[in-house]
């Protein structure tokens, strides 16, 4: 069993909020992640697990501190897994210069371009290395995993669910980037990590992936109508069109007055966790 180092563990809603560090083989660096173990974990049962993928600039602490999710996870008996948003401290040139590329902005894909390819392998990390590591150390039912995320992490949740529907059986997103090939954040990241090959880009774009078929599971999306990135980066109508064309079940809720922040996320996180719990039989 690969070792993990406990950074901290704190009581929260009868369960344990922990931060852990390990050596990542796929990212070639130390990685930190957070896990919330609900009180039901102490009883020895195998529990469903929901992975939350955070947005640009975030860390495993962001959702853990700001979303108020532990209360609901404790009620529903869900394990929550919060990975980091990129490799850290790998000293690539320019890695820390922009908020939307490099550290804090891994876009949940496996980079093919140098110098990023050697470390920025976040799809492999989030779909293979980390789930195995978490299942080895926490009582996860490996047949009941879901994925959710915000903004860049919403892009991650949608694409990784569509590409790995038997790994991540349920999916939801807050204000996701649904069509990264068509918007500035995605264009910059894909060009940097994947180069010029737009066929490669399409393998990491939710709207493009839907052309290859629906997942079958209903996807829940909340989008604030006062979101400052709505028209430039998010464009949820592109997801509606692609999902309708593909026959993908989804529920897209436009929330009047809400912006892109964690005040928006904390307002609707309970609905998302109940969506996952229902789909995963929690």
Count of CA atoms in the C-beta half-sphere (13 A) of 228: 2
151 is known as an active-site residue: yes
Q: Tell me which residues in 151-180 interact with a second copy (CB under 8 A).
A: none
Tokens found for residue 153: 């992490």
263 makes contact with a second copy (CB under 8 A): yes
- Which helix (H) or strand (E) is 185 found in, with range? helix 184-194
Stretch that binds a second copy, among 24-32, 177-185, 246-254, 260-268 (CB under 8 A): 260-268
In the complex with a second copy, the residue whose CB is nearer, 66 or 163, is 66
Cα distance between residue 118 and residue 77, in whole Å? 37
Annotated active-site residue in 37, 151, 170, 215: 151
Question: Tokens 């026959």 map to which residue?
Answer: 247
Q: Least CB distance from residue 259 to a second copy, whole Å?
A: 6
* Given 128, 259, 271, 274, the residue binding a second copy (CB under 8 A): 259
Indicate whether 28 belongs to the interface with a second copy (CB under 8 A). Answer: no
66 contacts a second copy (rule: CB under 8 A): yes
Tell me: does residue 17 bind a second copy (CB under 8 A): yes
131 φ, ψ (degrees, to nearest 5): -55, -40
Considering only 3, 7, 43, 65, the residue that binds a second copy (CB under 8 A) is 65
E-state strands within 110-161 = 140-150
* DSSP symbol at 43: G
Residue for token digits 């000293």? 91
Q: Is 71 in the site for a second copy (CB under 8 A)?
A: yes
| Minimum separation from the CB atom of position 263 to a second copy (A) | 4
272 classed as catalytic: no
What's the token pair of residue 30? 């130390």
User: Is the C-alpha dihedral spanning 52, 266, 18, 71 positive or negative?
Assistant: negative
CB of 256 to a second copy, least distance (A): 8
**CA dist., res. 148 & res. 14, Å (int):** 23
Cβ–Cβ < 8 Å for 182, 206 = no
Instruction: Decide if residue 258 touches a second copy (CB under 8 A).
Output: yes
Contact set with a second copy (CB under 8 A): 10-14, 17, 65-66, 68, 70-71, 224, 226, 255, 257-259, 261-264, 266-267
The set of catalytic residues is 151, 227, 260
């Amino acid at each position: 069993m690969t070792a993990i180092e406990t950074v901290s563990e704190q009581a929260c809603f009868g369960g344990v909020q922990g931060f852990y560090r390990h050596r990542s083989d796929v990212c070639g660096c130390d990685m930190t992640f957070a896990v919330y173990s609900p009180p039901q974990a102490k009883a020895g049962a195998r529990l469903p697990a929901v992975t939350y993928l955070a947005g640009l600039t975030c860390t495993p602490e962001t959702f853990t501190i700001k979303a108020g999710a532990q209360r609901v996870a404790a009620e529903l008996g869900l394990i929550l897994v919060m990975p980091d948003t990129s490799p850290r401290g790998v000293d690539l040139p320019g890695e820390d210069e922009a908020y939307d590329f490099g550290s804090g902005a891994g876009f949940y894909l496996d980079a093919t371009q140098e110098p990023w390819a050697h470390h920025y392998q976040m799809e492999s990390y989030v779909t293979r290395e980390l789930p195995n590591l978490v299942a080895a150390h926490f009582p996860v039912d490996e047949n009941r995993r879901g994925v959710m995320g915000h903004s860049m992490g919403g892009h991650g949740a949608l694409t990784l669910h569509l590409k790995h529907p038997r790994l991540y059986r349920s999916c939801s997103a807050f204000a996701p980037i649904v069509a990264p090939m068509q918007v500035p954040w995605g264009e910059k990241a894909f060009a940097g990590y994947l180069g010029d090959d737009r066929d490669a880009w399409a393998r990491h774009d939710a709207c493009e992936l839907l052309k290859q078929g629906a997942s079958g599971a209903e996807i829940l999306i909340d989008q604030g109508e006062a979101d400052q990135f709505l028209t430039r980066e998010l464009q949820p109508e592109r997801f509606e069109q692609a999902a309708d064309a593909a026959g993908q079940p989804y529920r897209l809720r436009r929330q009047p007055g809400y912006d892109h922040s964690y005040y928006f996320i904390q307002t609707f996180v309970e609905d998302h966790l109940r969506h996952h719990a229902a789909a995963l039989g929690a």
